[in-house]
Amino acid sequence: MSRELQGGILMLVGIVTLRVSWGTTYLNYVKEGMRPWLLLSGAVLLVLGLLAVIDAVRGRGDEDDPQDSEGESEGEPGDGHVHAHGGPRTAWLLLLPVFTLFVVAPPALGAYSASRDVTNSVAAPQLLPPLPPGDPVPMYLSDYVTRAVWEKGVSLEGRTVTVTGFVLPTQQGWQLARLQILCCAADAFTSKAQPTNLPAGFARPPADTWVTVTGHWVPGGGTESGTAIPLLEVESIVEIEQPVNPYD
């Protein structure tokens, strides 16, 4: 692989990284804190790639180009690189994530991943501070699960909460679910709650529909277990657009 081709690939990776992190697409894949690093890496790759291409266009007589014959001179003793010196063929693979991001920009993980996660996990069950005053209290679904399951609902008693999640179809009906990521979508955890007392005539929305539920905790979903699914008695439910950051 020649150096200007390497430069071209570097530029493409840089451009797609900038594009993804310029807007909000990157939030489907990684946490918000990664953004400055992504922008910086994208810029660095773009510049490095551009310089490599400029090198090749300007002067091809200097010392950086005897690599092309390298693949054929493999028999020389003492210099038997498996890959050609300029770059390995595997570098072509860098185009795979580039095109995937450019063309389809895969959506945030949703009901399909949640349905494969048999546990109702929160990253680290821990004691949460008391709820702020005023009802309803907006909270993450993962916090709701922690409070209901790992604190046995103590802090939720008598309070009204607002939680947002997507529709996860189940055999009996549906659950409210949302994923939580630690670093990237490869390590997603699922939080789930079981809505009860739905308004009469309320039909189950299609999978992955985002909803905001206002309601209150009722006992009966089980406590202190990685598979307990807390109940959430619905007072009102509205369909919404997918939040900018789809993860908790």
Partner 1 sequence: MSGAVSETKRGWRLTGLEALLGLTAVVVIGQRWLVDSFTSPALQTGATIFVSIFVQALPFLVLGVLLSAAIAAFVPPTLLARALPRNRSAAVPVAGACGILLPGCECASVPVAGSLMARGVAPAAALTFLLSAPAINPIVLVSTFVAFPGQPQMVLARLVASFATAVIMGWLWLRFGRPEWLRMPSRTHLQGSTSWHTFRLTATHDFVHAGGFLVIGALAAAVFNVAMPPQWIDAMSANPLLAILAMATLAVLLSICSEADAFVASSFTSFSLTARLAFLVVGPMVDLKLISMQTGVFGRAFAVRFAPTTFVVAVVLSILVGGWLLT
Residues 85-144 that bind partner 1 (CB under 8 A): 85-97, 99-104, 106-109, 111-113, 116-118, 121, 123-124
Contact 192, 168 (CB under 8 A): yes
Member of 23, 24, 37, 128 binding partner 1 (CB under 8 A)? 37
Residues 183-242 that bind partner 1 (CB under 8 A): 183-187, 189
* Closer to partner 1 by Cβ: residue 51 or 128: 51
**CA angle, residues 202, 246, 130, in degrees to nearest 5:** 85
The one segment of 56-64, 130-138, 193-201, 236-244 that binds partner 1 by CB under 8 A: 56-64
Member of 66, 173, 206, 219 binding partner 1 (CB under 8 A)? 66
Nearest-approach distance from CB 215 to partner 1, in angstroms: 28
The one segment of 46-54, 149-157, 162-170, 210-218 that binds partner 1 by CB under 8 A: 46-54
**Torsion angle of the four alpha carbons 150, 117, 115, 190, in this order, in degrees rounded to the nearest 10:** 50
Nearest-approach distance from CB 131 to partner 1, in angstroms: 23
Member of 58, 82, 127, 129 binding partner 1 (CB under 8 A)? 82
Task: Mention every residue, 6+ apart, whose C-beta is less than 8 A from residue 217.
Answer: 144, 147, 148, 153, 156, 157, 159, 161, 230, 231, 232, 233
Nearest-approach distance from CB 120 to partner 1, in angstroms: 13
The DSSP result for 47-59, as a single string, is: HHHHHHHHHHHH-
The interface mask with partner 1, positions 154-193, x = CB under 8 A, is: ----------------------------xxxxxx-x----
Does residue 149 belong to the site contacting partner 1 (CB under 8 A)? no
Does residue 38 belong to the site contacting partner 1 (CB under 8 A)? yes
The one segment of 12-20, 136-144, 213-221, 235-243 that binds partner 1 by CB under 8 A: 12-20
Does residue 3 belong to the site contacting partner 1 (CB under 8 A)? yes
Give CA–CA dist 123/24, Å, rounded.
24
**C-alpha closest to that of 159 among 131, 183, 119, 126:** 131
Give the E-state strand segments of 77-173 in sequence order: 137-138, 161-169
Nearest-approach distance from CB 248 to partner 1, in angstroms: 14
Nearest-approach distance from CB 91 to partner 1, in angstroms: 4
Contact 103, 16 (CB under 8 A): no
* Closer to partner 1 by Cβ: residue 137 or 177: 177
In the three-class reduction of DSSP (H, G, I as helix; E, B as strand; rest coil), residue 1 is classed as coil
Identify the helix (H) or strand (E) that includes residue 240. Answer: strand 231-240
